[in-house]
A = this chain, B = another copy of it.
Amino acid sequence: MTLATEHWVLTLACEDRPGIVHAISGAIVAANGNITESHQYTSLDTGRFFMRLQIESAISRDAFEEAIKPIAAKYSMQWTLDTVGRKMKTLVLVSKAAHCINDMLFRQRSGQLPIEIETVFGNHAELAPLAEFYGLAFETHTIKSEGDKRAFEQMLRTYIKSAGIELIVLARFMQVLSPEFCDEFAGKIINIHHSFLPGFKGANPYAQAHARGVKLIGATAHFVTSDLDEGPIIEQNVVRVEHSASKNRLVSIGQDVESKTLTQAVLWFAEHRILLDGERTVIFS
């Protein structure tokens, strides 16, 4: 019996040493695999080696994992193996602003964003109809106290476990998650901050940007850590603004760049294109 050809995506990170590429490519040759996409990078800051490969091969997952394991052990690698295009199970948190989730859901439906969302959670009910149009459940969890937040996060923990959530997206979710929650899901929570970080951290970045008179406004998609607005940056974009743009106009102008930036970050995550190099991200795009 012949297995159908599968399209694999393999990522790995380890201390840089000679021979890694040859060892990995040897495993791929042994699997009759063909490399269709390849990125690698060695960080001069940390001395770590990062690699992402896409491989066509008729090998089974078990056999492929067995082939990689000894190499991974030899080089003390962190590694992941997945199939290209598999939809990543994603949890989305929202408040009232629709633009980010609208963009994500539109692209997911049109086949451009390989994520799978079952339920959207909001601390307001406004976005329920949008979620429902896209066939998703929507749950409203009002958060008015620290107790509410603890209960909300506890509910999320249960849901994340039962639903097998791999990625948590804060699509303009206007609540600060607890440090414990952030630490627990480190490297799995992506937030969109509506400024060009590190400029204008904290609340009301557009008001800050207007007051400072900047000529470009931006948005930053980053991993969430317990240190607010300080997690590793995944993607940033900016857009030009005129002196005549009011604070409210900045909010409106900024929506595009927020949506685009967040969706890009989610796409890269879902495609295993983001690796962590200390406080910095390696993007294999």
Stretch at the interface among A27-35, A75-83, A145-153: A27-35
- CB pair A236–B215 under 8 Å, yes or no, is yes
CA distance in complex: A119, B230 (Å): 45
A246 contact set on B, CB distance < 8 A: 44
A32 contact set on B, CB distance < 8 A: 18
Q: Does residue A155 face the partner (Cβ distance < 8 Å to B)?
A: no
Enumerate A21-44 residues with CB–CB distance to B below 8 Å: 21-22, 25-26, 28-29, 32-42, 44
Q: Does residue A238 face the partner (Cβ distance < 8 Å to B)?
A: yes
Known A106-B99, A246-B44; contact A197-B214, beta-carbon cutoff 8 A: yes
CA distance in complex: A44, B198 (Å): 28
- CB pair B198–A243 under 8 Å, yes or no, is no
A280 contact set on B, CB distance < 8 A: 213, 243
Q: A95-114 toward B: CB 8 Å interface, digit per residue (1/0)?
A: 00011001000100010100
Q: Does residue A15 face the partner (Cβ distance < 8 Å to B)?
A: no
Residue of B nearest to A279 (CB): B213
- CB pair A236–B216 under 8 Å, yes or no, is yes
Q: Does residue A187 face the partner (Cβ distance < 8 Å to B)?
A: no
Please pick, from B25, B36, B212, the residue contacting A22 in the complex, using a CB distance under 8 A: B25
Residue of B nearest to A98 (CB): B110
- CB pair A277–B197 under 8 Å, yes or no, is no
- CB pair B215–A233 under 8 Å, yes or no, is yes
A255 contact set on B, CB distance < 8 A: 110, 112
CA distance in complex: A26, B21 (Å): 9
Q: A4-22 toward B: CB 8 Å interface, digit per residue (1/0)?
A: 0000000000001011011
- CB pair A279–B216 under 8 Å, yes or no, is no
- CB pair B112–A252 under 8 Å, yes or no, is yes
A237 contact set on B, CB distance < 8 A: 216
A44 contact set on B, CB distance < 8 A: 246
Q: Does residue A271 face the partner (Cβ distance < 8 Å to B)?
A: no
A99 contact set on B, CB distance < 8 A: 106, 110
A212 contact set on B, CB distance < 8 A: 197-198, 233, 279
A235 contact set on B, CB distance < 8 A: 215
29 A-B pairs (CB sep. < 8 Å): A16-B34, A19-B29, A21-B21, A21-B25, A22-B25, A22-B28, A25-B25, A36-B42, A38-B39, A112-B252, A133-B133, A197-B199, A198-B214, A199-B199, A211-B279, A213-B280, A213-B281, A214-B233, A214-B236, A215-B233, A215-B234, A215-B236, A216-B218, A242-B283, A243-B280, A243-B281, A243-B282, A243-B283, A256-B260
